[in-house]
Amino acid sequence: MGLLDRTWPKLGRDLLFNTVASSVLIPLDLRWLVYRAFGANVAPSRIQPNVWVGSRNLTIGRGTFVNYRVKFNTFGSITIGTRCNIAMDVSFVTQSHELGPTTRRAGQLIADPIVVGDGVWIGTRALILPGVRIGNGCVIAAGAVVSSDCEPDGLYAGVPARRLKDLPVE
């Protein structure tokens, strides 16, 4: 397989997901349809321009709001529930590396899915790492690094994120 054979799928993805779908020329209320047309499982939602999507391996639930410059690294799947709010510059990272030998510590590439429950609010510049499950009704504070699961209806903050407060359940 030559360089062009490996490059074309990436160019196509970037052209479709990260140029056309994320363009400011696509109306906000219709952008979800463009992502869906390109193969992502996106329900009616509001997705701002300049969102980066790695592949079709993305599910976004009905009524979710995704703000500017969110990054969905979809080497593993990412599932976002219904009625979520995702602030600017949030990164969802599904891939990492196994620990390698001294000569190259970043060993074999691995992936773990990310699952975000319903009604979750994720603050600006939060980082969601591989394999994390965020329970329904959670709030993830701005700048938090979420490296382990978050139980429902909690406020999580810090590096690494930890539960600071139980939130009221209605």
Task: Evaluate if residue 145 carries a pLDDT over 70.
Answer: yes
Residues across the chain: 170
- Structural domain count, the chain: 1
CATH of the domain at 27: 2.160.10.10
Pairing state of beta strands 154-157 and 162-166? antiparallel
**CA 147 to mean position of chain CA atoms:** 14
Euclidean distance between CA atoms 147 and 159, whole angstroms: 9
Neighbours of 29 (CB within 10 A): 11
| Predicted confidence (pLDDT) per residue in 8-31, tens digit | 566 677 777 888 888 899 988 889
**Range(s) of the domain holding residue 28:** 3-164
- The H or E element spanning position 102 is none
Q: Give the pLDDT of residue 2.
A: 44
Q: What average pLDDT does the chain have?
A: 92
User: Does some domain include residue 80?
Assistant: yes
pLDDT, average across residues 52-56: 90
Enzyme catalytic residues: 97
For residue 169, being part of any structural domain is answered with: no
Any domain includes 78: yes
Q: What is the pLDDT of residue 3?
A: 42
Is residue 97 included in any domain, yes or no?
yes
Query: 70: closest CA among 138, 134, 16, 21?
Result: 21
For 92-132, what is each residue's pLDDT tens digit?
999 999 999 999 999 999 999 999 999 999 999 999 999 99
> Is 170 within the bounds of a domain?
no
Nearest residue to 94 via CA among 116, 80, 118, 110: 110
pTM score, two decimals?
A: 0.91
SS3 150: strand
Q: Please name the residue that has the structure tokens 């965020």.
A: 134
